[in-house]
Amino acid sequence: MTKEDLLLKNIQGNKPFPICFEDLEKAVAERLPAGPYGYIRSGAGGEQSLRNNRSAFAKYSIVPRFLTDVSEPDTSIELFGKTYPTPFLFAPVGMNQMVHELGELAVVRAAQRLGMPYIQSTVSSYSLEEVAETVPDHTKWFQLYWSTNEEIAYSMAARAESAGFEAIVLTVDTVMLGWREEDVRNQFSPLKLGLARGNYMNDPVFTASLKDDSLESYVEGILANIFHPTLNWENVRELKRRLHVPLLIKGILHPEDARLAIEAGVDGIIVSNHGGRQLDGVIGSLDALPAIVKAVDSRVPVLLDGGVYRGIDALKALALGANAVCIGRPFVYGLAYDGEDGVYQVMQNLYSEFKVSMGLSGQRTAAGLPAMTLIRE
Ligand SMILES: Cc1cc2nc3c(=O)[nH]c(=O)nc-3n(C[C@H](O)[C@H](O)[C@H](O)COP(=O)(O)O)c2cc1C
């Protein structure tokens, strides 16, 4: 073994691991069947939105400061009165059993080891109660998809609250399924395979609406409820009235929608284009961020996801006013590559690069990053 090999293993733990997103994506492409891989990797339509997320980061360059004593970096952030050691959260990603048998349970164990809040998807393979039992003391938020039968949405939100989830994240950009060419090409529909059943199987309101407990009935029931084109601000207000924990809205791209969300009583905003999976031809999340930060004017936290594949991406997002970032595809690839340890390694690498980059740009605290100089080309 060469000296270089040893050094790599020291940095990354005991096993060699693809160091960057591109290497990891390539490695996972070789391990997963075309259906699941295409489902995770692809964006809607011609994938302009997916590309926009990445190219938005490349438009910004950091102008570093030096001689600032960066010996004791403080990467912590505060959200809803709690302090977290890093500005990274796990974005809600459905149906994790598509790539690993332990699915969300493996992911949330890694999240706990890292001290990063975990957002569980409505369409997870394991139920929110199973996740809560796995990591009862770790911070978990629940991502809610509205339901055609709104009583199902209220029921899931109430279950999440009683299982100890500390916030509800309502995703508003999925009122119908995006035009996903890769999945059509591969004839792949994980919803139809029943991989999204975790939270539906034991929901009393949902199960009462089924004609029997066959897989077909579950799938039919989920498909009948999961897309909900009637969603509107009154639904948001009513949900807010029923909740005892903070409500965030995920999928906001227009500053006017951010203003309306605050008017509707929302406690936080996640700027996101759903990883380019819904509407094609959409503004990249980072490009949408500054106007939303301005409109929100520090009244509620603003989080961002979409294309955060490197530590410096997180640095740029925080410099532009995001309070934290959510990671999606990178952790899913980590899960596919090496289960819980793979998730841990990916997120640890992102965090390590973030911390180094904070120091190298002369910044001592994550909270102070908005004062950093960025130029936009
Ligand atoms: C495979 C996959 C499944 C997803 N499932 C959900 C979901 O169930 N609910 C949701 O709100 N967002 C979902 N998202 C979107 C993510 O929360 C996040 O917005 C997106 O992954 C960010 O883009 P990035 O992964 O390229 O950074 C999913 C994304 C992927 C890649």
Q: Whose CA is nearest to atom 3 of ligand 1?
A: 93
Shortest-distance atom of ligand 1 to CA 307: 27
Q: Is residue 3 part of a domain?
A: no
C-alpha 176/C-alpha 292 separation (Å) is: 24
* Both tokens assigned to 95: 């149906």
**So what's the pLDDT on residue 140?**
98
Instruction: Evaluate if residue 10 carries a pLDDT over 50.
Output: no
Q: Measure 164 CA to ligand 1 centroid, in angstroms.
A: 23
In this structure, the residue with its CA closest to atom 13 of ligand 1 is 93
Helix (H/G/I), strand (E/B), else coil: 193: coil
From residue 1, alpha-carbon distances to 8, 23, 29 in Å are: 11, 21, 27
Asked if residue 95 lies in contact with residue 68, where contact means CB atoms within 8 angstroms, the answer is no
Q: Can you give the pLDDT at residue 14? A: 62
Residue 197 lies in a domain: yes
Binding region for glyoxylate: 39, 145, 180, 274, 277
Q: What is the mean pLDDT of residues 143-154?
A: 98
Model confidence pLDDT, tens digit, residues 32-42: 999 999 999 99
Distance in angstroms (rounded) separating the CA atoms of residues 99 and 107:
11
Domain assignment of residue 161, yes or no = yes
Angle at 84 between CA 350 and CA 116, to 5 degrees: 45
Using the atom order of ligand 1, give the atom closest to the CA of residue 123: 8
Q: Which domain holds residue 118?
A: 16-376
Name the percent of the chain lying above pLDDT 90.
Answer: 95
Residue 7 inside a domain? The answer is: no
DSSP string covering 218-254, please?
Answer: HHHHHHHHH--TT--HHHHHHHHHH-SS-EEEEEE-S
CA of 275 to the centre of ligand 1 (A): 6
Compute the mean pLDDT over every residue in the chain, rounded to the nearest whole number: 96
Q: How far apart are CA 294 and CA 151, in angstroms?
A: 35
**Element spanning 119, H or E:** strand 118-120
Closest residue by CA, ligand 1 atom 15: 274
Asked if the structure places residue 211 within a domain, the reply is: yes
Whether residue 9 is contained in a domain is answered as no
What is the CB < 6 Å shell around ligand 1? 39-40, 53, 91-94, 121, 123, 143, 171, 250, 272, 274-275, 277, 305-308, 328-329, 332
d(CA 214, CA 261): 39
Instruction: Encode pLDDT of 87-125 as tens digits.
Output: 999 999 999 999 999 999 999 999 999 999 999 999 999
Total domains, the chain:
1
334 occurs within a structural domain:
yes
Is 236 within a domain?
yes
DSSP 320: T
pLDDT tens per residue across span 251-269: 999 999 999 999 999 999 9
The predicted-structure confidence for 230-247, as pLDDT tens digits, reads as follows 999 999 999 999 999 999
| CB-side neighbour CA atoms (13 Å) of 105 | 12
CATH at residue 218: 3.20.20.70
